[in-house]
Amino acid sequence: MKEISTKHPGGVALLAEPILNKGTAFSVEEREKYGLLGLLPPHVETLPEQTDRAYEALKAKDTDLERHIYLRALQDTNEVLFYNLVISHVAEMMPLIYTPVVGEACEKFSEIYRRPRGLFISYPQRDEIDRILDNAMNETVKAIVVTDGERILGLGDQGTGGMGIPIGKLALYTAAGGVDPSVTLPIILDVGTNNEERLKDPLYIGWREKRISGDDYFEFVDRFVQAVKRKWPNVLLQFEDFAQAHAEPLLAKYRDELCTYNDDIQGTAAVAAGTLLAACKMLGKPLSAHHIAFLGAGSAGAGIAEQLIRIMKDEGLTDAEARERIYMVDRYGLLHSEMDGLMAFQERLVQDHASVASWSSSSDGSVSLLDVVKNGMPGILIGVSGQHGLFSEQVVREMAKNTERPIIFPLSNPTSKAEAVPADILEWTDGKALIGTGSPFAPVTYKGQVHHIAQSNNTYIFPGVGLGVLASEATRVTDNMFMASSQALADLSPALKDPAAPLLPPVSDIRAVSRAVAFAVARQAVADKVAPDRSDEELERCIDAAVWTPVYNKLT
* Structural domain spans, the chain: 46-257, 266-457, 461-546
Residue 174's nearest CA partner among 511, 518, 552 is 511
Strands (E) across 99-179 are located at: 119-122, 143-147
Please give the single-letter amino acid code of residue 556. Answer: T
Fold matches, 46-257 and 266-457 = yes
| Section 111-137 average pLDDT | 97
- What are the residues whose beta carbons fall under 8 Å from the beta carbon of 219, sequence distance 6 or more? none
**Backbone dihedral angles phi then psi of residue 34, each to the nearest 5 degrees:** -105, 20
Q: What is the pLDDT of residue 159?
A: 98
Q: What is the pLDDT of residue 1?
A: 40
What percent of the chain is predicted at pLDDT more than 90?
Answer: 93
Q: What is the pLDDT of residue 247?
A: 94
218: three-class secondary structure by DSSP: helix
Is the peptide bond preceding residue 422 cis, with omega within 30 degrees of 0? no
Kindly state the DSSP code that residue 266 receives in the 8-state scheme: I
- Whole-prediction pTM value? 0.92
**Backbone dihedral angles phi then psi of residue 73, each to the nearest 5 degrees:** -65, -40
Active-site hit among 34, 83, 98, 460: 98
Point out the least confidently predicted range of 146-155, 183-192, 322-331: 146-155
Q: How many CB atoms lie within 10 A of CB 303?
A: 28
pLDDT of residue 6 exceeding 50, the answer is: no
Q: Does domain 266-457 have CATH number 3.40.50.720?
A: yes
Question: Of all residues in the chain, what percent are helix, strand and coil, respectively (each to 5)?
Answer: 50, 10, 40
pLDDT of residue 4 exceeding 70, the answer is: no
Residue 311's nearest CA partner among 386, 380, 405, 261 is 380
CA dihedral over 340, 341, 344, 345, signed as positive or negative:
negative
pLDDT of residue 139 exceeding 90, the answer is: no
Give me the architecture of the 46-257 domain, per CATH: 3-Layer(aba) Sandwich (3.40)
Active-site hit among 169, 173, 261, 327: 169
Q: What is the pLDDT of residue 10?
A: 83
- At 408, the pLDDT band (50, 70, 90 cuts) reads very high
pLDDT, tens only, 496-534: 999 888 899 999 999 999 999 999 999 999 999 999 999
Q: What is the pLDDT of residue 556?
A: 73
Measure CA 198 to chain center.
24
98 tagged catalytic? yes
Region at 528 (left for phi over 0; alpha for psi -120 to 50; beta for the rest) = alpha
